[in-house]
Amino acid sequence: MRKRTQVLSRSKGRSSKGRSQIRGKPKATQSDTGLAERIVTLFKDGILVTDLELNIVEINKAFTRVTGYTRDEALGKTPRILSSGRHGRDFYCQMWNDLNEKGHWQGIIWNRRKNGEIYPECLSIETIADTRGEPTHYLGIFSDISHQEAIKNQIHHMAYYDNLTGLPNRELFSDRLELSISQAIRERLMVALFFLDLDHFKDINDSLGHSIGDQLLSAVARRLTDTLRESDTIARFGGDEFTVILSRISDKGQVENVAKKVIATFKKPFRIDDHEIYISTSTGICLFPEHGDNCENMIRHADTAMYQAKDKGKNCYAFYTSEMGELHNNRVYLREELRRALSEQAVSLLFQPQIDLINNHINVIEVMPHWHHHDMGVIPPIKFIPIAEESGLIHELGSWTLDTACNQLAAWRHKFDIDLRIALKIPGILLSTGKLDTQIQRALSLYNLPESSLELEITGSVLIEKMQEALKSLSRISQLGVRLTIDDFGAGFASLNYIKRYPIDKIRIDRSYICDIKSSECDRLLVRTIINMGHNLSLRVIAEGIENAEQLECLKKFGCDLAQGSYISHPLNGLELEKLLAQQPPGQTPLIRVDIKETDSTCNT
């Protein structure tokens, strides 16, 4: 990469009009000259000086440290020795125009070190003139910003790639599916979407542990990558679900051949530690434009076809058909059962404490709806919340959750005389109504609660899908004094842009980074980076999914503010939490005693 100085033409004799030039001082003493030389030598940024012919006439030690070229190797050469070849003629023309008009240029440029490594640097160029204002030299001052570029790339990877498998996440997957559909429309071709779900993966997780399960997911990702074309997109959709996009397909036979290859690749066992694991996949397939005309429909239909493949006995694939109604019927059944549960007050709340890692006192109580069906048992929120959103029941469920939680909080604050707060996860659809701030204000007023006693948790996916509505609604809510948290930060949807756009008070590190924090140096570095970044932005940081003392030890050493997870406390019903609150003297929030054992220095890295 060429230095900014290298594009300066030989401008000897040109007028200096309009330039902010560095003029030479007359009658400099020997002492002044020596001082200047020492300053240049000690300067931490690289410096080079060229004559008007662009021959290098002077450098400092930092130049050698950054580029690898010694003084003897650089003097007499031109800055072309640093050219990376990444910048075209237009780049240098613009640089020259700025130098002519403004007398200086500053920007980011890519250069090449002596060892061939290409790196980014921030470069500033000035013209040095004599006492008459005539140009005599060009001065370039630059700093190596490759470390900053690495951090930028790391954050980009966190936003668009799955931390465990390295595959594209949902956000990048959605972008590529949109792109593939647009391309198919232009070229009058097809797109195939595969929705893969690993069969009996939960049994492996339960019997061998989450660590083995995570290693298996990574191995599956690698095997799929080796099986499919480089032009195909493989993404981790979530949990044990993967998606594959086949672009530029001309006939259905091509898709069936790929589907057979995918099924066949699972016939060979996976070797994880000392375990030989056999696992299969059920795959649903949707074709554009035959089965769906947009991303949302294709994902839904591929998912429906995947359940059909499971119903056929698993370890197979199924194309979507309009007759596939069983999954839809099940969802209709759950929707009506949820409607009945709400009307009969068969839904309850669970409470999970978040503790302050400085003193182990409960700081916030996360509130979550809990549904125990009379026939189906416990139905997790991840299953019934989407059904509530699709059916419109989310408004009734959301209002009930907010009202019931505030009522319970007010009772506990009064009974135990403590400054307790609650946190609620907010489904995205509630942000788009424009009424959430009014509902919150009414609930807080009704139960005489301070605004600071309520926190709302919003996932990055909500902020992406409902950008404008979310910004307006969250701004009004923040103005009330209610605190806001970005949930699952680092899981792919969360972005630094949200911190800039939204009035955020806290970020919650996704549990996927916590699972292997003790054994994975990468996870430790990422967690520490998120914590430091949050603190630098005056945000509090909470970690979720704490399952053991080692994870808690690392988080405490890294300066994390809050923690939540089964090791600290499982979700409690109202009576259980009230017993916990009653253990402390009036006016004090409960102390949860957790063991943090100093084992080794791993978390110091």
Name the token pair of 3. Answer: 């230095």
Distance CA 523, CA 506 (A): 20
pLDDT at 159 over 50: yes
What is the CATH classification number for the domain harbouring 56?
A: 3.30.450.20
Position with higher pLDDT, 584 vs 199: 199
Query: Tens digit of pLDDT for each residue in 361-386?
Result: 888 999 999 999 988 899 988 888 87
Same domain assignment for residues 317 and 194: yes
Q: What H or E segment, with its residue span, contains residue 282?
A: strand 281-288
Which of 273, 305, 324 is the last residue before a domain boundary? 324
431 and 480 belong to one structural domain: yes
Is the pLDDT assigned to residue 15 strictly greater than 50?
no
* In the predicted structure, residue 49 carries a pLDDT above the cut 80: yes
Query: So what's the pLDDT on residue 7?
Result: 37
Q: Which helix (H) or strand (E) holds 218?
A: helix 210-227
Residues 241, 98, single domain; the answer is no
Question: pLDDT-based confidence at 387, cuts 50/70/90?
Answer: confident
Query: Partners of 119 in the beta sheet?
Result: 111
pLDDT for the residue 16: 43
In tens, the pLDDT along 416-473 reads 888 899 999 988 777 767 788 899 999 999 999 999 999 999 876 555 545 566 677 7
Q: How far apart are CA 456 and CA 32, in angstroms?
A: 62
Residues 261 and 408 in one domain: no
Residues 305 and 423 in one domain: no
pLDDT for position 13 = 38
Regarding whether 298 and 419 lie in a shared domain, the answer is: no
Among 116-120, 200-204, 236-240, whose mean pLDDT is lowest? 200-204
Q: Kindly give, in sequence order, each residue whose CB lies less than 8 Å from that of residue 29, ignoring residues fewer than 6 positions away.
A: none
Query: Do residue 301 and residue 404 come from a single domain?
Result: no
Amino acid (one-letter) located at 384: F
Winning range, highest mean pLDDT, from 143-157, 168-182, 484-498: 168-182
Please name the helix (run of DSSP H) or strand (run of DSSP E) that holds residue 523, with its range, or none: helix 521-536
Same domain, 239 and 257: yes
The residue segments making up the domain with residue 131 are 4-144
| pLDDT band with cut points at 50, 70 and 90 for residue 594 | low
Enclosing H/E stretch for 119: strand 118-129
Q: Which of 12-26, 67-81, 223-237, 326-340 has the lowest mean pLDDT?
A: 12-26
| 281-288/317-319 β-pairing | parallel
Looking at the fold, whether 518 and 467 belong to one and the same domain comes out as yes
pLDDT at 287: 93
* Domain end (from 127, 144, 161): 144
Q: Which residue has the higher pLDDT, 122 or 492?
A: 122
β strands within 386-442, DSSP E: 422-425
From 144, 174, 189, the end of a domain falls on 144
| CATH number of 235's domain | 3.30.70.270
Contact 87/110 with Cβ under 8 angstroms? yes
Which residue stretches of 267-423 are H helix? Answer: 295-311, 326-343, 381-391, 394-416
What's the mean per-residue pLDDT of the chain? 83
Instruction: Give the chain's domain count.
Output: 3
φ, ψ for residue 484, nearest 5 deg: -125, 140
Residue 151 pLDDT level (bands cut at 50, 70, 90) = low
Q: What was the pLDDT predicted at 360?
A: 86
- Tens of pLDDT along 259-306? 999 999 999 999 998 888 889 999 999 999 988 888 888 998 998 899
CA geometry: angle 328, 384, 482, nearest 5 deg: 140
Instruction: Give the pairing of strands 135-144 and 46-51.
Output: antiparallel
Shared-domain flag, residues 260 and 338 = no
- What does DSSP say about strands 118-129 and 135-144: parallel, antiparallel, or unpaired? antiparallel
* Same-domain pairing of 104 and 171: no
CA atoms of 487 and 504, how far apart (whole Å): 11
pTM of the model: 0.50
Tell me the CATH number at 532: 3.20.20.450
Region 181-187: mean pLDDT is: 91
User: Do 193 and 118 fall into the same domain?
Assistant: no
**Sequence-distant (≥ 6) Cβ neighbours of residue 455 within 8 angstroms:** 364, 421, 422, 423, 424, 482, 483, 484, 485, 505, 506
Q: Could you give phi then psi for residue 35, rounded to 5 degrees? A: -65, -45
Percentage of residues of the chain with pLDDT beyond 70: 83
